[in-house]
Chains A and B, each alone.
Chain A
Amino acid sequence: MNLLSLVLINLGRNKRRTILTMLSVMIALFLFCALRGVLDTLQESIKVGSESKLVTRNKISLIFPLPLAYQDRIAGIQGIKDVGYGNWFGGRDPADERNFYAQFAVSENYIGMYANDLDIIAYDPPQAGAAIPPGVDPKLASYYLDREGCVVGELLFKKMKWKLGQKVVVSGTIFPGTWTYNIRAVYRAKNPAMGESALFFHWKYLSEKGMNGQGMIGWYVLQLQDPKRAGEVTRNVDAIYTNSAAATHTETERAFQAGFVSMYGNVPFLIGVIGLAVVFAILMVAANTMMMATRERTAEVGVMKTLGFQDGTIFGVVLAEAAVITLGGGILGALVAKFLIEGTKFNAGGMLPPMNVAWTTVAAGMGIAVLMGATSGIIPAYQASRLKIVDALRRVE
Chain B
Amino acid sequence: MAIPIIYNVRNVMLRPWTALATGWGIAMVVMILVGAFALASGFQAALVESGSPNNAIVMRVGADSEISSGVGRDAANILKALPDVAPGPDGRPLVSTDMVVLTNLPRIGGSGGTSNVTIRGVDQASFALRDQVKITAGRMFTPGTGEVIVGERISKRFQGLKLGDHVSFGQQSFAVVGLFTAAGSAFESEVWGDNAVLMPAFDRTDAFQSVTFRMRNPGQFDELKKRLQGDPRLGVQVKTERAFYSEQSALLANMIRFAGILITLIMAVGAIFGAMNTMYAAVGQRTREIAVLLTLGFSPGSIMRSFLAESVILCMLGGVLGVLLALPINGITTSTTNWSSFSEVAFAFRVTPMGIALGLLFSMMLGVVGGFLPARQASKQSLAGSLRAA
Residues of A within 8 A of B (CB): 16-17, 20-21, 23-25, 27-28, 30-31, 35, 60-64, 90, 92, 171-174, 176-177, 243, 245-247, 249, 258-259, 261-270, 274, 277-278, 280-282, 284-285, 287-289, 291-292, 351
Contacts and interface: CB of A to CB of B under 8 A. Distances in A.
Interface stretch (B4-12, B108-116, B177-185): B108-116
Interface centre among A31, A264, A281, A284 (most CB of B within 10 A): A281
A60 B169 contact: yes
B337 A60 contact: no
A17 B116 CA distance: 52
Contact of A60 (B31, B101, B334): B101
Contacts of A31: 263, 266-267, 270
A281 B102 CA distance: 42
Interface string B258-280: 00000100110111011011101
Nearest to B112: A262
B270 A285 contact: yes
A11 to B, nearest CB: 14
A176 B62 contact: yes
Contacts of B267: 27-28, 31, 278, 281
Contacts of A90: 64, 68
B327 to A, nearest CB: 15
A292 B18 contact: yes
B202 A64 contact: yes
B280 A16 contact: yes
A288 B61 CA distance: 61
- B contacts with A: majority SS: mixed
Interface residues of B, number: 59
Interface in B223-258: 235, 255
A246 B111 CA distance: 29
B336 A265 contact: yes
B21 interface: yes
Contacts of A172: 62
B335 to A, nearest CB: 5
Contact of A291 (B18, B102, B107, B203): B18
Interface in B325-380: 334-337, 342, 344
Given A62-B104, A176-B60, A265-B336, A21 B28 contact: no
Contact of A28 (B17, B101, B255, B270): B270
B67 interface: yes
B18 A285 contact: no
Contact of A262 (B18, B32, B35, B113): B113
B220 interface: no
A202 B360 CA distance: 55
Contact of B103 (A60, A287, A289): A60
Given A281-B27, A292-B277, 5 more contacts: A25-B270, A171-B62, A269-B110, A288-B274, A292-B278
A179 B103 CA distance: 29
20 contacts: A25-B270, A27-B266, A27-B267, A31-B267, A62-B104, A63-B67, A173-B64, A176-B62, A245-B171, A245-B203, A258-B113, A262-B111, A265-B107, A265-B344, A277-B28, A277-B32, A285-B277, A287-B21, A291-B21, A292-B277
Interface in B5-46: 17-18, 21-22, 24-25, 27-29, 31-32, 35, 39
B25 A284 contact: yes
Interface in B115-166: 115-116
